[in-house]
Amino acid sequence: MATFSLEEQRVIIRFLHLRGVTPTEIHHHLSETCGDGVMNVKNVRSWVRQFKESRTSCDNEPKQSRPRNSRSDNMVQRVEKVVLEDRRLSVENIASKVGISVGSVHKILHEDPRMRKVTSRWVPQILADDHKAARMAVCQAMLTRDEGMNGTFFSSTVTMDETWMPFFNPLLHQQFSSGQNSLLQKRSQRPWNHGVDVVKNV
């Protein structure tokens, strides 16, 4: 008994379909001709249906699928670009913009650019090249100044860290909304709480 490839069987299916043969009869003819390598009746019906819908090619089209590596360099750059354009985006929004899964975006954000979310913003955990250059310039300027002061510059340096954060108290907000206390209303109108930490280097 002769052996027919799947492509050759699809050609036979199309030929018999054009002659008005039903899918069941086509499968019967194929079974008599092709033996054990015959296409099953379900696939025969599927190809007959496609030929009815004006398909002319008998080649099996490759299936479309996701890229095997969604964490390629190009994809990492796309995710980083989207984040830097709007740091308030959620992981779901980023995934929809770049066209990959939420899990892949999560891995890219936490492993490749090494970012983390702080107060609803994605903040890089590593310094960019311009940040490093700026810090280097400041350090060199401080060293030059220390040399001009005979090594006394750093002993008299005071460093400080300034933090701005929204002031929000749920209890005060609730009482302000209900108008229970005028004093609490005035306090709740203060939008910001400013804190400064000062540390002197010894």
| Amino acid (1-letter code) at residue 155 | S
φ/ψ of 40, rounded to 5, equals -70, 160
- Beta pairing class for 192-200 and 115-118: unpaired
pLDDT at 194 over 60: no
Q: Tell me the C-alpha to C-alpha distance, in Å, between residue 16 and each of 1, 107, 125.
A: 20, 52, 66
For residue range 43-92, list pLDDT tens digits in order: 899 999 988 888 888 887 655 555 445 557 788 888 888 888 877 788 88
Of residues 147 and 169, more confidence is placed in: 147
9-40 burial: b if 16+ Cβ within 10 Å, else e: bbebbbebbeeebebeebbeebeeebeeebbe
Report the C-alpha gap between 167 and 102 in whole angstroms.
Answer: 33
Give the pLDDT confidence score for residue 188 in this predicted structure.
46
Common-topology check for domains 6-52 and 73-124: yes
Does pLDDT of 8 surpass 80? yes
Task: Look at strands 192-200 and 158-166 and give their pairing.
Answer: antiparallel
More confident residue, 161 or 119: 161
Length of the chain: 202
Domain 6-52 grouped into CATH 3.20.20.140: no
Domain ranges of the chain: 6-52, 73-124, 127-153, 157-202
Torsion of Cα atoms, 30 then 35 then 38 then 42, to 10°: 70
Q: SS3 for 113?
A: coil
For residue 48, the tally of other CB atoms under 10 A from its CB is 20
Q: Look up the CATH number of domain 73-124.
A: 1.10.10
